[in-house]
Structure 1
Amino acid sequence: MNEFNPDVRTFYLSQLLDKKDNGNVKIITGLRRTGKSILIKQFAKALEQEGVAQENIIRVDFEATGVRCYTSEETVTLIKRLCGSRKHVYLLLDEVSRVNDWETAINTVVDTMDADIYLIASNAGILSKKFRPNEEGTTDVINVLPFSMPEFIKRHEYVPSEEVYFPQKDHRVDYSGISFRGKDNINYSLEEVYYQYVRYGGMPVVSEQYSDNDRLRILFDAIYSNVVVRDILEYEKRNGRMITDPLLLTDVISIMIRSIGSHISATSVGNQLMTEKKASRAFKPATRTIETYMQALVESYMFSKVSRYDIRNNVVLKTLDKYYLVDTGLYNYLMGMNNQNRPAMLENLIYYELIRRGYTVYNGKIDRDEIDFVLQTSEGRVYVQSCYDLADDTGRKAVRALRRIRDSYPKIVAVFNGENRVLYDGIREVNALELLMGADLPGGDRNYR
């Protein structure tokens, strides 16, 4: 197996090093506790190993105790004081969006200092167009996600019975005869490891010490509370968007989680709130209010929003989006360990695997049928269906929808423990678990990882 330090996100670290000194501002985003701050520390260490003087690496954590910059002027003064007269510094600014009018401050830094700038944030507000490099297109955005399945395997120290390299580029690994020995000295199949991945999720802070449900719940309670309080309620209050009802926010989260893999809208969420009489509501919240809450959840990186694409008319639609939850461990924390929707979890994980590979992903519509994922590639498009069981009604419907598409772009159905074969009409069946392990996507780009 390749050498792997579970505390180093080599996939992201290599991106930072590749983009070093390219003239753009680097923005590192993602859900809280996915390892962004650790990543930036590792980047600083890598800079030192490349010969950068330690005093030329300036890191400021704007959430740390003792940092009290409430205005853009104070922030600029602090940064300039820390940099002194040094030439060409590397500025690593953690959670700078907590500063009032941070855009003005960093615009000033960009204009007046010889610095390679890295901004770290847990809210998409960091992508504000008020920050001039965002407007001008001179930023590189790296979205840090929870562990992929290979990273999970390595983090939890599962040892394969045969040498396996990650990712599996240009070749396929047959996992039927491969077992993974856990730290308990028990051998697990790839399917069994997958279920552990679904159970625990990919948050880097989760390790074997949280193997019992009570300790796991305490950990996820802290993660969830930090996201809801710091990155939604407090952030939105600072920025004047009135998300003031924690109970409504919790109810919206619950409905969005239960709707993974389904089309929803603010209107449908509002109707469901009233049907379920959530929080003993006497009246239905305004659709605009629910839209604001849903958007805040997307901007906190707890959920991703996927727009619908009309394949026949080649147009992106503005209604009935899908939402995916960034981590299955959060799903189990909020919904209960024994309340898993296995087809939805598989679709959720495939979505984030495709995002890791750099695809722009849409949910497809072909007449009245649905395509789970429409990928934009360098060669055009790839259509992907997620399917837990090819033999059931859902599986047959997934294949039928692909057959309705008359263009020549690759059409794939990713089946849980499926075979790798051609079905008919050029439709390819692939093993979804192998896809999650990094196997090449037929017809897809290969410039990932």
Structure 2
Amino acid sequence: MYIKRERYLQKIRPYYNVDLIKVLTGVRRCGKSILLEQIEEEFVSNGFDKTHIIRINFEDLQFEKIRTAEKLNSYITKQIKDMDKYLIFLDEIQHVRSFEKVLASLRATINCDIFITGSNSKLLSGKMATLLVGRCIEFRIMPFSFAESYEYIKVIGKNQPPDEFIIDYINWGGFPLRFSFSKESDIKRYLEQTYLGILDRDIITDKSKINRQNFEKIAGYIMANAGKEFSSKNIQSYFENQNEEGLDRKTIYRYLDKMDKACLIDRVKRFNIVGKQAMSYIEKQYAVDTGFRMINTNLVNFEDTFFLENIIYNELVSRDYEVFTGKTYKGEIDFVAIYGRKKCFIQVAYYLGSRETIEREFGAFKPISDASPKYVFSLDRFDYSRDGISHINIVDFLLGKVNINLS
């Protein structure tokens, strides 16, 4: 069973039959292959000839020998029988060396519409960017959002009020296949195997020259502390105190870059609210899914907000907002969400259950003279809006029942 990923299809549809290569990037097992199937189904339902569809999944054993540009080009061109349009779907294309040469050639010589996927956030960099500049459009695909997850559990017959399901989602995230399991021990085992599979396939390969033990320690630490203020010096000191060797700052940053490329984390920059500008250095990391954070933490601490922050960050990104952490002269704001030239400010809390918490979350906006909208998100059903600052229930926001405004 699957749900239609309408949020992404709405973004991609305007580019059907447009002479651009459609590139879908995202972490492994987030649903890119199913999304390709849904795109193909839409073409066929609109009358496209099935005999003019070429589909290759490079993780399928039958295509294991297609690993060079020459072999890929030969395989595809042999299937072109006429001048009519062909649909070409290439799933996990990063397995093919110099694949960008094939894409450039196909686009130039064949009447075709090309869709590719890859589990590398930098798929459109380097040689590909040079060869295909102005010829690609990228769409970032993420694991199920809360709304997609809630829709999916209803499809598979699990009825649960959304205010209860949010706790499950906070703990175990939105990787589609994890919903095949009901026991937490089975969910945890699946997520651990998925996580290790990403390390093996996309990061710690024979050519990477990465110390597996050291990488797993750094990656685990980064995942467990996703959302917290980042300091390579603090990480280095932490591991030095554990008598670990070979974990200098250069190595830490190299491992961070590897995690970023494998779509495991987002590296989030600061926004100087006083100066009204993005700052170049990176302040925090957020996990692509809270399930990966959970397996490296083993506990959701409801005294902090980092799991919820992670969910709100991923939701904003999936809605195409540009997201920063905010810096004021007195402290920080969890998020500055920007779309075009408009923005808003967001604070995130689990519950506003005490006067102290209310004062802290709403008071964080006091140093900001900017008139852009300000929001406090929490799981509370009571509306705590005050002083021109809006309070939003997180579940309602994630389900699309309420939205934020920007100015």
In 2, Cα distance between equivalents of 1:257 and 1:135: 34
Deviation at 1:84, TM superposition (A): 3.8
In structure 1, the residue matched to 2:378 is: 415
Range that drifts further, 410-419 or 339-348: 339-348
Q: Does 1:71 align with 2:68?
A: yes
Asked if the contact 1:308–1:362 (Cα under 8 Å) also holds between the matched residues in 2, the reply is yes
Q: How many pairs were matched up? A: 405
**Of the candidates 35, 55, 72, which is equivalent to residue 59 of structure 1?**
55
Change (3 A) 1:331 1:258: closer
- Pairwise CA distance, 1:316: 2.1
Corresponding position of 1:193:
165
* Alignment TM-score, normalising by the size of structure 2: 0.91
- Tell me how far apart the structure 2 counterparts of residues 382 and 336 of structure 1 sit (CA, whole Å): 33
SS of match in other structure, 2:178 = coil
Q: Is the 1:388–1:395 Cα contact (8 Å) retained in structure 2?
A: no
Change over 3 Å in CA distance of 1:122–1:192 after alignment to 2: same
Counterpart of 1:312 (choices 269, 274, 279) is 274
Cα distance between partner residues in 1 of 2:300 and 2:351: 20
Q: 1:214 to 1:367 in 2, by over 3 A?
A: same
Corresponding residue of 1:93: 90
**Partner amino acid for 1:94?**
D
Given that residues 5 and 35 in structure 2 are in contact (C-alpha distance below 8 angstroms), is that contact kept between their aligned partners in structure 1?
A: yes
Measured at CA, do residues 189 and 72 of structure 1 come closer, stay the same or move farther in structure 2, by a change above 3 Å?
closer
TM-score of the two chains, using structure 1 as the length reference:
0.83
Which of residues 188, 200, 203 in structure 2 aligns to 1:217?
Answer: 188
1:421 offset after TM fit, Å?
A: 5.2
Within the candidate set 5, 12, 15, 2:8 is matched to 12
Q: Structure 1: which 5+ runs fail to align? A: 160-181
Q: Which moved more, 1:23-32 or 1:98-107?
A: 98-107
CA distance in 2, matches of 1:420, 1:135: 50
TM-superposed deviation, 1:291: 0.8
Structure 1 distance, partners of 2:335, 2:3, is 31
* Matching residue's letter, 2:202: D
The alpha-carbon distance between structure 1 residues 375 and 433, as it changes in their structure 2 partners (threshold 3 A), is same
Inter-CA distance 129–317: structure 2 relative to 1 (3 Å threshold): same
- Structure 2 CA distance, aligned partners of 1:13 and 1:384? 28
**Cα 1:52/1:189, change in 2 over 3 Å:** closer
Among all aligned residue pairs of Structure 1 and Structure 2, give the percentage whose two residues are the same amino acid: 25
Q: What secondary structure sits across from 1:317 in the alignment? A: strand
Matches within 5 A, 1:203-242: 203-207=175-179, 209-234=180-205, 242=208
Report SS of the residue matched to 1:124: coil
**2:86–2:112 contact (8 Å) kept in structure 1:** yes
Supply the AA of the counterpart residue of 1:423: R
In structure 1, what is the equivalent of residue 216 of structure 2?
250
8 A contact 1:133–1:139 mirrored in 2: no
CA separation of 1:290 and 1:379: change in aligned 2, threshold 3 A: closer
Among residues 406, 415, 420, which one is paired with 2:369 in the alignment?
406
Specify which of 221, 240, 245 is matched with residue 274 of structure 1.
240
In 2, the alpha carbon distance for the partners of 1:158 and 1:73 equals 43
- What is the distance in 2 between the residues matched to 1:213 and 1:95? 30
Q: Please, which of 426, 434, 437 is the counterpart of residue 396 of structure 2?
A: 434
Amino acid aligned to 1:107: A
Number of the residue aligned with 2:298: 336
Deviation at 1:410, TM superposition (A): 0.7
Asked whether 1:38 is paired with 2:9, we answer: no
User: 1:291 and 1:379 mapped to 2: Cα distance?
Assistant: 31
Separation of aligned partners in 2, 1:93 and 1:121:
9
Q: Post-superposition shift, 1:338?
A: 6.2
> Counterpart amino acid of 2:149?
F
Cα gap change, 1:258/1:111 in structure 2, threshold over 3 Å: closer, same or farther? Answer: same
Distance 2:389 2:131 in 1: 40
Matched, 1:265 2:211: no
Partner of 1:296: 258
Following superposition, the deviation at residue 339 of structure 1 comes to 6.0
Deviation at 1:442, TM superposition (A): 3.2
Q: How does 1:46-195 map to 2 (within 5 A)?
A: 46-67=42-63, 68-132=65-129, 136-157=133-154, 183=158, 188-195=160-167
Aligned residue for 2:127, secondary structure, equals: coil
- Residue number in structure 2 paired with 1:172: none
Question: C-alpha distance in 2, partners of 1:39/1:84?
Answer: 27
Which structure 2 residue ranges, 5 or more long, are not aligned? none
- 1:268: Cα distance to partner? 2.9
Give 1:93 deviation, angstroms: 0.7
Give me the whole-angstrom Cα distance separating, in 2, the residues matched to 1:195 and 1:106. Answer: 44
Q: Displacement, 1:48?
A: 0.9
RMSD: 2.5
Worse overlay, 262-271 or 246-255: 262-271
1:261/1:324 contact within 8 Å kept: yes
> 1:387–1:395: 8 Å Cα contact kept in structure 2?
no
Change (3 A) 1:422 1:86: same
Tell me which of 18, 24, 28 is aligned to 1:22. Answer: 18
- Amino acid of the structure 2 residue aligned with 1:109: L
Secondary structure in 1 aligned to 2:376?
strand
Shift of 1:361: 0.5
CA drift at 1:11: 2.2
Task: Map Cα deviations across residues 133-192 of structure 1 (whole Å, 9 max, x no partner).
Answer: 786343222211111222222211289xxxxxxxxxxxxxxxxxxxxxx74x7xx54332
Opposite residue 116 of structure 2, the aligned amino acid is L
| Structure 2: distance between partners of 1:138 and 1:268 | 42
Q: Provide the C-alpha distance between the structure 1 equivalents of 2:150 and 2:168, rounded to a whole number of angstroms.
A: 10
Cα distance 1:305–1:53, how it changes in 2: closer, same or farther (>3 A)? same
Among 174, 178, 183, the alignment partner of 1:202 is: 174
Is 2:302–2:350's contact at 8 Å kept on the other side of the alignment? no
Q: CA deviation at 1:335?
A: 2.2
- Whether the 8 Å CA contact 2:342–2:406 is kept in 1: the answer is no
